[in-house]
Chains A and B, each alone.
Chain A
């Protein structure tokens, strides 16, 4: 089992551009959550996907959008990038029906906006 995988590992963009980050959940997991971690801060919840729909959303603008595919993998899209979007983007997967609420994290994608 490869666990949670994310791609790419690093990415450099310029202001105004758009970016797509990808996440493949751990085998057997159907729920994917995305988090943004600014340097020196704890992660912040962006949104969560289950059954190809956004179930919960944190306090992030509409520039942040996502998608979940039938195989449970997910994408995070950010439009009109700002310098402040530079961060580590973490994906976590979990089995919704799991009674322990355990989440497994991917290695993250480090986005730098210049």
Chain B
């Protein structure tokens, strides 16, 4: 079993829909990242959080430390949101352990 599990692995939705991607982890962490990866490979950090909730534009990330679970929400989804979203937890001195990613496709 992977230390970081994401669901779903693939998600296709229509423009405007509310999107939720889930991440569960089984190890102790100091923080959790949500990352976005577009075709071609470049990774952009969306959020880093260790408790509670963060919001940036149409993106919202939450984390429940007791339940070892985090969610990434996208409101009013748009085709440009299509990408792979990756959850990564911070272990030790900044070592990242990654989930397998969720491939999101938003159709116009």
Contacts and interface: CB of A to CB of B under 8 A. Distances in A.
Nearest to A104: B45
B44 A56 contact: no
A94 B41 contact: no
Interface stretch (A12-20, A43-51, A65-73, A74-82): A43-51
Contact of B30 (A37, A92, A101): A101
Interface residues of A, number: 29
Interface in B4-34: 4, 30-31, 33
- Tell me the interface secondary structure of chain B in the complex: strand
Interface stretch (B54-62, B65-73, B74-82, B97-105): B97-105
11 contacts: A33-B95, A41-B100, A42-B88, A42-B98, A42-B99, A96-B93, A100-B31, A105-B45, A107-B40, A107-B41, A110-B41
Given A31-B94, A35-B98, 5 more contacts: A96-B94, A100-B31, A103-B33, A108-B41, A108-B42
